[in-house]
Amino acid sequence: MIELPEAVTIARQLNETIKGKRIVEGNTGESPHKFVFYKPSREKLARLLLKKSIGEVTSLGRSIHIGLEPNEVLVIDEFGGKLLYHDPGAQLPKKYHLLLKFEDNSFFTVAIQGWGFISTLTEWKQSKWVILRSNAISPFGAEFTSKRFIDLVEGYEDKEKDSIKTFFTNGRSVAGIGNSYLQDILFRAKVSPKRKVADITAKEKKVLYGAVKDTIEKAIRQNGRASERDIFDKPGNYSQIMDRYAVDKPCPNCGTAIQKISYLGGSCYICPQCQR
């Protein structure tokens, strides 16, 4: 799944590459995938793409917003897969769930892996999931201060019930962090994913804030994770500390073997000695 650093990288590259191009053909592919959710329907969307020009591309959390001038925005959200730019004459990927062909014969494809949402801004804004997340702040921006972060942790409504993993990954407080970057953030902060939000100490809140900032800023500088691809099909340069390759290897801090645990729909990688 794409997380915030990959979304920032993709949006920047799309601005540099396809902004201003006019769409001469658009479709949603020939291999429908039941976990690609389109709003409006595939047919409506294909019609809507015609004769639009690509406007500003931005990212919000883990979603990509592509301006379709004059009056629409295409949103690709909560997805895994590849958003690729292709030079004129390149071969189409075997499977894709959205294709934009431009006047100069270059094109752009979206191929979803796992699941994903492809919608217009109006429809996207009305989805329940987005409404729940609408107050979240981006960890990559001036508004993400230590005070603001501490207020979010302290003001979190289910803090007795929910763990710090849920706090981050449900996207209601901090936007764009998923299970992957969370592993490195919690390792850097020496906090277990299972800790209840209410049990995070004042000192740990400060350390967590720093760990979020360091991890996300470093990953953005490095164009996202090495396991994900940019629009030119190149991997990012951010190597995760805590992922499946770390299992049974010594913790970089203390030498204890890293463990894999299954927790809340996704694997967590922890140092049982450092992370409490």
Binding site for Zn ion (CB under 5 A): 251, 253-254, 256, 271, 273-274
End-to-end Cα distance, the chain: 27
**CB 259 → Zn ion: shortest distance, Å?**
10
- Asked if 62 contacts 2 with a C-beta cutoff of 8 angstroms, the reply is yes
What is the smallest separation between the CB atom of 255 and Zn ion, expressed in angstroms?
A: 7
CA distance 267 to 246: 12
The least distance separating Zn ion from the CB of residue 164, rounded to whole angstroms, comes to 18
Own/partner long-range contacts of 137-141 (Cβ < 8 Å, ≥24 apart): 137/173, 137/174, 137/175, 138/4, 138/60, 138/61, 138/174, 138/175, 138/176, 139/4, 139/174, 139/175, 139/176, 139/177, 139/212, 139/213, 139/216, 140/4, 140/8, 140/176, 140/216, 140/217, 140/220
Instruction: Pick the closest to residue 120 from 16, 26, 49 (CA basis).
Output: 49
Minimum CB distance to Zn ion smaller for 14 or for 274: 274
Minimum distance from residue 218 beta carbon to Zn ion (Å): 20
Query: Between 132 and 254, whose beta carbon lies closer to Zn ion?
Result: 254
Nearer to Zn ion by Cβ, of 54 and 271: the residue is 271
Closest residue by beta carbon to Zn ion: 251
Nearer to Zn ion, 125 or 276 (CB): 276
Would you say 183 and 243 are in contact if contact means Cβ atoms under 8 Å apart? yes
* Residue closer to Zn ion (CB basis): 37 or 263: 263
Q: How far is CA 94 from CA 77, 113, 264, in A?
A: 22, 13, 34
* Nearest distance in Å: CB 216, Zn ion: 22
Work out how close the CB of 241 gets to Zn ion at its nearest, in angstroms, rounded to a whole number: 11
Of 234 and 249, CB closest to Zn ion: 249
